[in-house]
Amino acid sequence: MSQIDIQLERPRVEMLFARYKDQIGDDYPGYRNHVYRTITYAMHFLGNDAEYEQLVETAFVYHDIGLWTDHELAYLEPSEAVALADNEKFDWGLDPEALRGAIHWHHKISPYKGVHQKVIEACRKADWIDASKGTIRKGLSKDIIAEVEAAFPNLGFHDTLLRLAKDYGGSTLVGGVKVTLGIVKW
């Protein structure tokens, strides 16, 4: 029996993605699976508490969206802006500071402390697990991570990030530096 709840379909996630799927284009399958993996990890850290589910799903659909909507390597602020605008436009009623924080701090190296700490920290840990392809485990076993990765294969997502760094930065090296300076938080 699994030690982590894996939901292969999340209607809210699919609804949120619908308006951006064409913009994401060929990168969509890999990004979608990255989003599903990170949601799975974050919800696990939150004890699958339904109170956080809509916020976590929304934050992860939007957390990297600025790569495609704004073609920016420093994509946190553009991603936050799109998420906050849609939250208001579609009247989702999500706490804007929690939504912004979950996106803004998801690359923070050290633990997040502050308002909305529980959900922001769960999102931060989840993204580090996936960004590192499970090298950083944040307390999860290799077996649990392998189970999540089997349910939602990578489909070239990490290669997409390298390609976008080169496309938007002029070279993988310059793009990598721009990404690091633009998104990593201490």
- Among candidates 183, 35, 55, which has minimal Cα distance to 120? 55
Question: Domains of the chain (ranges plus CATH)?
Answer: 11-157 (1.10.3210)
Q: Which residue has the tokens 């201490």?
A: 186
pLDDT at residue 42 above 70?
Answer: yes
CA angle 10, 160, 5 (to 5 degrees): 25
Could you read off the pLDDT of 104-135 as tens digits, one per residue? 999 999 999 999 999 999 999 999 999 999 99
Q: What is the CA radius of gyration of the chain?
A: 15
Q: Looking at residues 89-114, what average pLDDT do you find?
A: 97
Least confident of 39-43, 87-91, 102-106, 159-163: 159-163
Band of residue 20 on the pLDDT scale cut at 50, 70, 90:
very high
- Among candidates 138, 109, 115, which has minimal Cα distance to 126? 138
Band of residue 1 on the pLDDT scale cut at 50, 70, 90:
very low
What's the pLDDT score for residue 176? 55
pLDDT at residue 51 above 80?
Answer: yes
What's the pLDDT score for residue 178? 55
Give this prediction's pTM: 0.93
pLDDT at residue 186 above 60?
Answer: no
Q: Residue 97 in contact with residue 116, Cβ under 8 Å?
A: yes
| DSSP code string of 63-93 | TTTHHHHT--SS-HHHHHHHHHHHHHHTT--
What's the pLDDT score for residue 16? 99
Report the share of the chain in percent with pLDDT over 70.
90
Mean pLDDT (the chain) is: 93
Q: How far apart are the first and last CA of the chain?
A: 37
CA 16 – CA 54 distance, rounded (Å): 11
Backbone phi, psi, residue 74, to 5°? -90, 75
Q: Which two tokens stand for residue 142?
A: 């290799």
pLDDT at residue 82 above 70?
Answer: yes
Q: Which residue has the tokens 């633990």?
A: 111
